[in-house]
Amino acid sequence: MTETKTPRLSRRTLLQGAGAAAGLAAGSGVITGFPAIIAAEPVTLRYLGTAVNQSGDIARKVKEDLGITIEYIPVVTDEVSKRVVTQPNSFDIVDSEYFSLKKLMPSGNLVGMDARRIKNADKITPVFTKGEVGGKKIGDQGTAPKKVFYLEGQNSTKFAASPTEWITLIPTTYNADTLGIRPDLIKRPITSWKELLNPEFKGKASILNIPSIGIMDAAMVVEATGDYTYPDKGNMTKAEIDRTMKVLIEAKRAGQFRAFWQDFNESVNLMASGETVIQSMWSPAVTKVRSQGVACTYQPLKEGYRAWATGFGLPKTLSGKKLDAAYDFINWFLSGWAGAYLNRQGYYSAVLETAKANMEPYEWAFWMEGKPAEKDIKAPDGTIMEKAGAVRDGGSFEQRMGAVACWNSVMDENTYMVRKWNEFIAA
Amino acid sequence: MSTAAAPALPEAATAASTPTGLAAATRRQRRLAYWQAMPLGLVFLVFFLVPLALTLIVSFWEYNEYEIIPAFTLQNYADVFEGCLSGGDLCTTFRTYLSTLKFCLLGWAATLTIGFTVAYFVAFHVRSTAMQTVLFLICTIPFWTSNVIRMIAWVPLLGRNGLVNDTLMGLGLIRTPIEGLLYSDFSVVLAFIHLDTVFMIVPIFNSMMRIDRSLIEAATDAGATAWQTLWNVIVPLCKPGIAIGSIFVLTLIMGDFVTVGVMGGQQIASVGKVIQVQMAYLQFPAAAANAVVLLGAVMVLIGALTRLIDLRREL
């Protein structure tokens, strides 16, 4: 049922899109005699984002369903923001982190998205719209998406406190991050963030060398030790930054860290080779270590998770056929196939019900409900990720996202923080 | 031949014979030389001088999270040297430069020793030119793969459970793995030696090949020992090669942040890394100020080197 339903839906979207494009082209007088051919001319969208979210499978499926060619521009997170601010004409759609919005929106290069043109806008999970999971409020320290989800107007650079029809980013993926550990080498239960700086793991711990994220992991540790409770870990005062950095510098001088990592593969190698036994990590990296036959747990901790989210934004300069195509693509993205694809990799998708309709019940039960896998869980490419009987670390969607303590962020004192971070690296 | 109508062609210049024509011809020749130098000059201007000037200008600008604002402020430089004059603990910048200088010194000394020895062997002990060429090419083998791959190749060798530690433990020489092999100053210097020695070998080898062999014979005839010949004849004549190689190695190490990052486990500071982090956070003026300071430091270093050896005269 569902399998036949989705393509038909997307085909209709395609026709609508094509019709609108033709109408628009006719209206603007571009056509010189071959309307059908010009209207059917394939549209290419330049998709700026990090490589993590840019899958060839998705691009192929879009081409099949909508006839839109997706041209990926894969760069690192920081480069995404840099491009949006400095070269806003170099892409047609951007997949950016929500925390970057504080930098991006004031530049005026992104435009508010019309919620009325997003078919599933009202079905986007309340994690984004209200900061809730299953009716329960979740942690909103840092740049929680709900704080930057709406704009006051289409061309406004101010975030709206209450829902409006102008959305900054339509969520693509989000997740809750925690520490990865090697249970075979640690040999005892780990329940708290403070273990990251426990001298027991001297020379075998690691954090990431991305200042704005690394400092929040450190703040989780400081809070876990009971030293200090931050009013907002995602927006520290100078004194709080100093306090946190002092803890980090002491740990570094004592030789706590084996290395710092900056990209996905570095974190996988450190963990898989046994150079580190406990470190801040990303969910797919844990999966990758495990797929190499090395025991690795994405350990839920009592203080909660540090969450992040990314979403689609549109540049102000986008218009005409490309703008329509961008909306079509976003609508397609929320219609289920892509959501299911992302859920199967351990990320979460924006509209859960459409994703559910595109997943096998046993897959949904494993990834989203935290139940033991009935059958082997396979990656999109067919390799086995988890054997039958395995349970997802951290449990269900509600357990994991419900336990979020803070969100990746950009602080008001960002410049100072970066300077202090450089000091920490030099210490 | 009428000089007025003659275009600025080399034939015209060489054809001139009268004294006045000679002066005009020299002028024309000089103008021609400028024309010939122009393509390179333009490239130099557009891709080197203009960006450099822009960097210098931007380093005095103000900035916030999302834009850089034309202004004139010394704040960026003040931030670079924050806490450097207060005494007590070393400030971040000095600490970073000190660490970079340490790597420069260690890397330079090691590459010079190895580079000189290798070049000496190939230049003086290998008799046939064919063999010399073969050995010389062998020196370039590391360059067949990318810089990053060459660095990463060290990781499985030096790691806690790497080959070296496994072998030493297997031989019973050590009980616990040596942690300092990887992600330490040692591994950084090792990688620098691996990456940069060839830049020392090539210019020194080149200098050695130009040494007149009869000078060495004369030294031997005059009763000099092998060491005396080396120290009093070969080393002085290799000075230009050593200087050029040193400039290569020092500038490479000064500006490097990838090697220090990968081999130092991101735990060791480098100026390049500081600049990279600032760029990533869109703090372009701060990064520009750091770049200008780095440029200054490198220029001082090169200046000192050329004081020791007058390159232009030696070449």
Q: Are residues A338 and A228 in the same domain?
A: no
Q: Are residues A267 and A400 in the same domain?
A: yes
Report pLDDT digits (tens) over A219-254: 999 999 999 999 999 999 999 999 999 999 999 999
Q: Are residues A11 and A153 in the same domain?
A: yes
A364: in domain: no
Q: Are residues A49 and A159 in the same domain?
A: yes
Q: Report percent pLDDT > 70 for chain A.
A: 91
A365: in domain: no
For residue A21, what pLDDT is reported?
Answer: 45
For residue B9, what pLDDT is reported?
Answer: 45
Provide the mean pLDDT of chain A: 87
Binning pLDDT at 50, 70 and 90, where does residue A327 land? very high
Q: Which of A79, A252, A418 comes nearest B278 by C-beta?
A: A418
pLDDT at A18 over 50: no
pLDDT at A167 over 90: yes
* B146/A contact by beta carbon, under 8 A: no
Structural domain count of chain A: 2
* B288/A contact by beta carbon, under 8 A: no
For residue A426, what pLDDT is reported?
Answer: 83
A82 min Cα distance to partner chain B (Å): 7
More confident residue, A10 or A320: A320
Are A260 and B159 a contacting pair at CB < 8 A?
Answer: no
* B275/A contact by beta carbon, under 8 A: no
Q: Which of these ranges, A19-23, A292-296, A301-305, B95-99, has the smallest mean pLDDT?
A: A19-23
Q: Are residues A142 and A36 in the same domain?
A: yes
The CATH number linked to A117 is: 3.40.190.10
For residue B315, what pLDDT is reported?
Answer: 62
Are B265 and A260 a contacting pair at CB < 8 A?
Answer: yes
**Ranges of chain B whose pLDDT falls below 70:** 1-20, 87-88, 313-315
Burial call A183-192: b when 16+ CB within 10 Å, e when fewer? eeebeeebeb
Report pLDDT digits (tens) over A329-349: 999 999 999 999 999 888 999
Binning pLDDT at 50, 70 and 90, where does residue A67 land? very high
Mean pLDDT of A29-53: 67
pLDDT at A33 over 70: no
Q: Which of B67, B99, B159 comes nearest A273 by C-beta?
A: B159
Q: Are residues A193 and A206 in the same domain?
A: yes
A413: in domain: yes
Q: Which of B66, B82, B99 comes nearest A103 by C-beta?
A: B66
Residues of A in contact with B282 (CB under 8 A): 81-82, 85, 103
A362: in domain: no
Mean pLDDT of A396-404: 94
Are A209 and B266 a contacting pair at CB < 8 A?
Answer: yes
Q: Are A21 and A68 in contact (CB under 8 A)?
A: no
Q: Are B16 and B22 in contact (CB under 8 A)?
A: yes
Name the residue range of residue A26's domain. Answer: 2-175+308-357
For residue A35, what pLDDT is reported?
Answer: 42
Q: Are residues A219 and A276 in the same domain?
A: yes
Are A423 and B67 a contacting pair at CB < 8 A?
Answer: no
A152: in domain: yes
Q: Report percent pLDDT > 90 for chain A.
A: 69
Q: Are residues A280 and A410 in the same domain?
A: yes
Give ipTM to 2 decimals.
0.76
Residues of A in contact with B155 (CB under 8 A): 269, 273
Residues of B in contact with A261 (CB under 8 A): 266
For residue A13, what pLDDT is reported?
Answer: 46
Report pLDDT digits (tens) over A119-145: 999 999 999 999 999 889 999 999 999
Q: Are residues A183 and A72 in the same domain?
A: no
Q: Are residues A43 and A190 in the same domain?
A: no
Q: Are residues A298 and A312 in the same domain?
A: no
For residue A408, what pLDDT is reported?
Answer: 94
pLDDT at A14 over 50: no
A163: in domain: yes
Q: Which of B65, B266, B286 comes nearest A103 by C-beta?
A: B65
Mean pLDDT of A87-111: 92
For residue B262, what pLDDT is reported?
Answer: 87
A366: in domain: no
A197: in domain: yes
A194 min Cα distance to partner chain B (Å): 21
pLDDT at A6 over 60: no
Q: Are residues A144 and A221 in the same domain?
A: no
For residue B127, what pLDDT is reported?
Answer: 86
Residues of B in contact with A260 (CB under 8 A): 265-267
For residue A143, what pLDDT is reported?
Answer: 93
Are A425 and B269 a contacting pair at CB < 8 A?
Answer: yes
Q: Which of these ranges, A120-129, A305-314, A371-380, has the smallest mean pLDDT?
A: A371-380
Residues of A in contact with B264 (CB under 8 A): 259
